[in-house]
Amino acid sequence: MKRFGLIGYPLGHSFSKLYFTKKFEEEGLEDHVYELYPIEHLSDFENLINSNRDLCGLNVTIPHKIGIMFYLDKIDADAKAIDAVNCIKVIKGRPLESFFTGEVSSMKMRLEGYNTDCYGFELSLKPLLKKHHTKALVLGSGGSSRAVTYVLGKLGIDYQIVSRKRSRKQILYSDLSAELLSEHTLIINTTPVGMSPAVDACPDIPYEFLKDKHLLYDLVYNPAETMFLKKGKEQGATIKNGEEMLHLQAERSWEIWNS
């Protein structure tokens, strides 16, 4: 049996379980299984690894994307720069490399951490970018905001984080003016605001200042057209939801687990 799964807490509806279960069925991978592992405390992670010797890969979600890094033998450069891991490759046996690098762990497998959110975001954003998309507003400062700002940095797009808390690097929603919106023609929602079932909610930005040169990207994928995107579309903006990013990050996980 080749076992894959998702760790996080709480784990309700899971896109990943549906996605991979369907994929295994369609590809005739009868000895593959994708399970949910609701772990509240990461202190239970070691036990999960040691008692599931057929584990080959894991996805990681809220609230463990950062804490999990302390349990891994190696963290890939993108994930290190973002400071969050959402994909773990489990390698059977602890190869000789661990002995020479002096890694000490009571776990019997080698664990490598990756961030596939950045891959999904970059690939799905790039085809929509126009020359005038040189400045972005990133709504929210959580885990996915870090992956998004990492990609924007890589693409040479200046960004400003908008948050409910002011800090040296963050402005408030109430700071958003006509001028700021006119300069920042790419706006990315990395908050869960507007996600089902709270479909009538949307980030508190002055939508009346949006124009057709704006590109609104919502990481939320359920509903397909959030209130944020709907209001942007009404102003003539181009809109994109998080579905393609979700599929791309899952496929990238699959590639990593099979590499």
65 given a catalytic annotation: yes
> Which residues, at least 6 apart from 220, have a Cβ–Cβ distance to it below 8 Å?
189, 192, 193, 194, 195, 226, 228, 241, 242
Catalytic residue of the set 17, 22, 65, 131: 65
Count of positions (residues) in the chain? 259
In this chain, which stretch among 6-14, 20-28, 162-170, 174-182 interacts with ligand NAP, using CB under 6 A? 162-170
The identity of residue 57, as a single letter, is G
CA distance 118 to 151: 6
Decide: is 220 part of the binding site for ligand NAP (CB under 6 A): yes
Decide: is 8 part of the binding site for ligand NAP (CB under 6 A): no
Decide: is 85 part of the binding site for ligand NAP (CB under 6 A): no
Which whole-number Å values give the CA distances from 146 to 35, 121, 128, 179, in the listed order? 27, 11, 20, 25
Decide: is 67 part of the binding site for ligand NAP (CB under 6 A): no
Q: Which of 16, 140, 185, 238 binds ligand NAP (CB under 6 A)?
A: 140
Give the count of alpha carbons within 13 A of 173, CB side only.
13
Decide: is 79 part of the binding site for ligand NAP (CB under 6 A): no
Decide: 52 and 7 in contact? Cβ < 8 Å: no
Q: Which of 191, 226, 238, 253 binds ligand NAP (CB under 6 A)?
A: 191
Q: State the minimum distance, in angstroms, from the CB of residue 139 to ligand NAP.
A: 7
Q: Which residues bind ligand NAP (CB under 6 A)?
A: 62, 117, 120, 140-145, 163-165, 190-193, 195, 219-221, 242, 245-246, 249
